A = this chain, B = another copy of it.
Amino acid sequence: MDLNPADARFAARLAELLPEDVLRPVAPRYLEEPRGRWQGQAGLLALPHDTEQVALLVRAARDARVGIVPYGGGTGLVSGQVKPDGAAPLLISLERMNSVRGIYPPENVMVAEAGAILADVQTAASEAGRLFPLSLAAEGSARIGGNLSTNAGGLNVLRYGNARDLCLGLEAVLPNGEVWNGLSRLRKDNTGYDLRDLLIGAEGTLGIITAASLKLAPIPAAVGTAVMVVPSPAAALELLSLAREQVAEGISAFELIHGEGLRFLTEVLPDVRQPFDDPPEWSVLIEFGLSPGLNPQEQLEALFARALTRGVASDGLIAQSETQRHELWMVREQIPEANRLIGSVSSHDISIPISVIPEFIARGREVVADLGPLRINAFGHLGDGNLHYNVFPPKGRQRAEFADLAPVVKRVVHDLVDEMDGSISAEHGIGRLKVEDLERYADPAKLSAMRAIKAALDPLGIMNPGVVLR
């Protein structure tokens, strides 16, 4: 069933239904995506003021069989926010629906509209004496609706879970134009199928999230940060176990850092201050966020002492000030930028069962070495089993020289991930970028159930066409 373009006739129809200021010329930024792989198109851009206007837009698109691209902050890394071909879609940006509708500190709940910028949600929580734990590089421009639609991950998943775990309920416009009022503030509600978790992670293909009730957490009384040098990824996992024995849920971050990433920093971002003169091959950034009565620095010192005794750490630095904490985090946070400047042949957002990560790193090195003299930077959220596994040209060579190799690298890495029961998309989603990978690696029964659900809820296929499922 072909879709129709969002053309002048459709625009005229919308103009009858909606206030004049809802429809806007399509600025170029709405048609770009951060990795520059695809150029989007849009027949029309709508900036609705409220949920009822979103519903009107969806119903009009349904009646006219016009495709819709729901647009959050545009920061997604798998191109779910652009439609590069076929009939030009209606782009609905939630940016005007950005208010916090309510904060309930005794409940640890906030209700925010989908267009609220993640950093603003964090600030609103903080002003109420609470923590909204979702934290990721794009938080200054990503919007919470997009974070939920893509089930965003980030730095605090180990402790607080991903976006799905931080959401109690949704308000959404379904593909038939009906508004689902599901803004529950309840921790327990067993009344029927879990639509919330179905829309979360559906990347706009089953409806448009317009608001969400979000879980807040207490702000840890004190935070401490350290970097510890470990002899191997296996030792890093033992260190994680030791840390868990010691502070249980108190581990806020446990990030694996690879020597290659530190050498990249030296190469392209020499101003970033590194904790060790000689970049260690493997190190871990650890953050403890503890309740009153426990001193994070003392706890990190105790952990380091135990780790030294057991031979799972050989050197370490515990931040003694906020400035030092910030410096340690800057190292971790600047690695993606260094990667970008070096230019990867192929990058992969993967997860692996935690206990086989050392084996994955070893086997990955072999299968990639078979393809040529490539460099690997494997780093990321070790506590979640989530690695950003990026493959680079040898020093002094350009990614362009290896363009032909890119699909081969991706294939051998994803094949290995699949063989080891991992995921080819840990936190970024499927978007358009990984539609083929999903078809290749997903369980067939799951894929056919997904197609049945999509056909049932969106029989005309108007919602973010071509994303997740073809």
Residues on A close to B: CB < 8 A?
A: 104, 106-107, 109, 150-151, 153, 157-158, 162, 164-165, 174, 176, 178-182, 184-195, 197-198, 200-202, 206, 217-218, 220-221, 237, 240-241, 244-250, 291-294, 299, 351-355, 381, 384-386, 421-430, 434, 438, 441-450, 452-457, 468-469
Contacts and interface: CB of A to CB of B under 8 A. Distances in A.
A444 B178 contact: yes
Given A107-B355, A174-B445, A452-B457, A201 B206 contact: no
Nearest to A459: B452
A197 B198 CA distance: 8
Nearest to A292: B246
Contacts of A454: 193
A463 to B, nearest CB: 13
Contacts of A429: 190
A425 B189 contact: yes
B187 A157 contact: yes
A312 B247 CA distance: 29
B353 A179 contact: no
A119 to B, nearest CB: 22
28 contacts: A107-B354, A153-B188, A158-B187, A164-B194, A165-B165, A180-B443, A180-B445, A180-B446, A184-B421, A185-B354, A186-B385, A188-B385, A188-B427, A189-B423, A191-B434, A191-B442, A192-B430, A192-B438, A192-B447, A193-B202, A193-B453, A195-B449, A197-B197, A218-B244, A221-B248, A246-B293, A453-B456, A455-B456
B191 A218 contact: no
Nearest to A298: B293
A77 B223 CA distance: 44
B189 A443 contact: no
A297 to B, nearest CB: 13
Contact of A291 (B218, B248, B441): B248
A181 B381 contact: no
Count copies of this chain in the complex: 2
Contacts of A109: 353
Of A201, A299, A455, A468, the most chain B CB neighbours within 10 A belong to A201
Contacts of A174: 445, 449
A191 B446 CA distance: 10
Nearest to A188: B426
Contacts of A237: 106
A87 B221 CA distance: 60
Nearest to A355: B106
B157 A425 contact: no
A208 to B, nearest CB: 13
Given A248-B220, A250-B291, A424 B191 contact: yes
A457 B453 contact: yes
A153 B153 CA distance: 26
Contact of A426 (B190, B353, B441): B190
Contacts of A445: 174, 178-181
A237 B108 CA distance: 12
A12 to B, nearest CB: 28
A182 B443 CA distance: 7
A299 B292 CA distance: 10
Contacts of A241: 106
Given A109-B353, A453-B457, 8 more contacts: A186-B385, A189-B351, A190-B428, A192-B438, A192-B447, A192-B468, A293-B294, A453-B453
A423 B188 contact: yes
Given A218-B248, A292-B246, A190 B180 contact: no
Given A180-B443, A181-B445, A193-B453, A291 B187 contact: no
Of A291, A354, A442, A449, the most chain B CB neighbours within 10 A belong to A449
B188 A384 contact: yes
B150 A192 contact: no
Nearest to A180: B445
Contacts of A426: 186, 188-190
A452 B443 contact: no
Of A157, A240, A354, the most chain B CB neighbours within 10 A belong to A354
